[in-house]
Homo-oligomer: A and B are copies of this chain.
Amino acid sequence: MAEPIRVASGFGREFPGCDPARAEALANLIRAANEALGELDRRRRTLSNLSASGFEALAVLDGASVPLTGTDIANHLLVTTASITSLLDTLAGRGYIERQPHPIDRRKTLISITKTGRQLVDEMLPIVHTTATQLLDELSPSQLETFVSVCTHLRNRVEQLSELPPPMPRPRRRPTPRIRTSDHV
C-alpha cells in the first residue's frame, strides 16, 4: 500500500526558507507521474515497441488532421530538429509516417501519418484514456479540479521562473545523523 511521500520532521530547520508541504507535494507529483508513465508505457508497448516520444509524435500528427513540418513537431515535443529527424526516421521505418516535400517552400518536409499510423493511434488513445479512468477512479470532481488547478499553477510558475536566473538558496543545516557509518554491516 503506497503511502504519501513525507519529509522528515526536522525539515524546516534543515532547509531554512523551504516549505515542507510544498516539498512533499512536488515529490509526490514527480513520483506519481513517473509511476503513471511506467504503467502507460507498459500498456502501450503491448501495441508497438515505440517510445513515449514516438507515441506522442503520432498523437500530435493524428490530432492535427493536416500534415505538419518537422519543426512543428519539434516544437510540440520540445526537442531540437535534429532529434526529430532521428525520431521520424524510426517512425518512418516502421511505416507509421511518410515524408513529402512541401509543395511551396522547398526547404520544408511535410510529415503525414499513414493509415497504419492512424490505426495505431486509434488503438493507443483508448488505452491511455482507459488507464486515466482507472488510475483516478473514486475521486470527486472537486478533488480532480483542485488537482488540475495545482498542476496549472505550477506550470505557470515554471514559465515565469525559467526565464530568471536560479535563486541562491539558503544553505542546508545538515542534521546530526542518528546512525553511525560504522553500523552498516
List residues of A whose CB falls within 8 A of some B CB: 1-4, 11, 15, 17-19, 21-39, 42-43, 46, 65-67, 78, 103-104, 110, 112, 122-123, 125-139, 141, 143-159, 161-162, 166-167, 169-172, 174, 177-179, 181, 183-185
Contact = CB atoms under 8 A, between A and B. Distances in A.
A129 B19 CA distance: 8
A19 to B, nearest CB: 5
A35 B172 contact: no
A144 to B, nearest CB: 5
A172 B93 CA distance: 26
A148 B4 contact: yes
B23 A155 contact: no
Contacts of A11: 129
A14 B141 CA distance: 21
Given A28-B151, A32-B151, A65-B177, A158 B135 contact: yes
Contact of A126 (B19, B145, B172): B172
A149 B143 CA distance: 9
A166 B127 contact: yes
A151 B36 CA distance: 10
A181 B67 contact: yes
A153 B169 contact: no
B35 A158 contact: yes
B166 A25 contact: no
Contact of A151 (B29, B65, B144, B153): B29
